[in-house]
Structure 1
Amino acid sequence: MTITTCVFDAYGTLFDVTAAAQAAAAEPNHTDLANVWPAIARDWRAKQLEYSWLRAVAGRHCDFWQLTQDGLDWALEANHVTNPGTRARLLELYWELPAYPEAPTILETLKSRGINTAILSNGSPAMLNAAVTSAKIGRFLDDTLSVEDVGVFKPSDRVYDMVGARFGCVKDSVLFVSSNGWDAAGAAGYGFQTAWVNRAGAPVDRLYAAPHHVVSDLTAIPELI
Structure 2
Amino acid sequence: MTITPSVIIFDVNETLSDMGPLAEAFNQAGMSASLTRPWFAELLRDGFALTVAGDNPDFAHLATDNLHRLLTQTSGPGKYQKQVDDIMGVFKNLALHADAVPGITALSRVADLVTLSNGATSVAQSLVTRGGVQDEFARFLSVQDAARWKPAREAYDYAATETGHTVDELLLVAVHPWDIHGAHAAGLRTAWINRTEATYPSYFTAPDIEAEDLVALAGKLTGP
| TM-score class, shorter | 0.7 to 0.9
* Residues 218/77 of structure 1: CA separation in 2 closer, same or farther (3 Å cut): farther
Q: CA deviation at 1:103?
A: 0.6
User: Do 1:18 and 1:41's aligned partners in 2 also have CA atoms closer than 8 Å?
Assistant: no
Which aligned pairs between 1:124-139 and structure 2 lie closer than 5 A? 124-139=120-135
| 1:32 aligned partner, one-letter code | G
In structure 1, runs of 5+ residues without a counterpart are none
What is the DSSP-based 3-state SS (H/G/I as helix, E as strand, rest coil) of the residue aligned with 1:196? strand
Give yes or no for the alignment of 1:155 onto 2:151: yes
Give yes or no for the alignment of 1:109 onto 2:106: yes
What's the CA shift string for 1:52-75, capped at 9, x where partnerless?
111101123221111221332344
Q: CA deviation at 1:195?
A: 1.1
Counterpart for residue 46 of structure 2: 51
**Cα distance in 2 for residues equivalent to 1:167 and 1:103:** 22
Counterpart for residue 185 of structure 2: 189
Which aligned pairs between 1:166-185 and structure 2 lie closer than 5 A? 166-185=162-181
**Cα distance in 2 for residues equivalent to 1:202 and 1:80:** 33
User: Do 1:43 and 1:75's aligned partners in 2 also have CA atoms closer than 8 Å?
Assistant: no
Q: TM-score, normalised by structure 1?
A: 0.85
| 1:90 aligned partner, one-letter code | I
* Residues 73/120 of structure 1: CA separation in 2 closer, same or farther (3 Å cut): same
**Cα distance in 2 for residues equivalent to 1:79 and 1:200:** 29
Q: CA deviation at 1:31?
A: 7.0
Q: TM-score, normalised by structure 2?
A: 0.85
**Partner residue of 2:30 out of 32, 40, 43:** 32
**Cα distance in 2 for residues equivalent to 1:76 and 1:31:** 8
Count of residues paired in the alignment: 217
Q: Provide runs of 4+ in structure 1 moved above 4 Å.
A: none
User: Do 2:183 and 2:190's aligned partners in 1 also have CA atoms closer than 8 Å?
Assistant: yes
| 1:97 aligned partner, one-letter code | L
* Residues 72/4 of structure 1: CA separation in 2 closer, same or farther (3 Å cut): same
**Cα distance in 2 for residues equivalent to 1:221 and 1:169:** 22
**Cα distance in 2 for residues equivalent to 1:76 and 1:135:** 31
* Residues 2/32 of structure 1: CA separation in 2 closer, same or farther (3 Å cut): closer
- Percent sequence identity is 27
User: Do 2:156 and 2:167's aligned partners in 1 also have CA atoms closer than 8 Å?
Assistant: no
* Residues 152/43 of structure 1: CA separation in 2 closer, same or farther (3 Å cut): same
What's the CA shift string for 1:84-141, capped at 9, x where partnerless?
2332211111110111011111111122x25100101101233333333333331121
| 1:139 aligned partner, one-letter code | D
Which aligned pairs between 1:66-77 and structure 2 lie closer than 5 A? 66-77=61-72
**CA-based RMSD:** 2.3
| 2:12 aligned partner, one-letter code | A
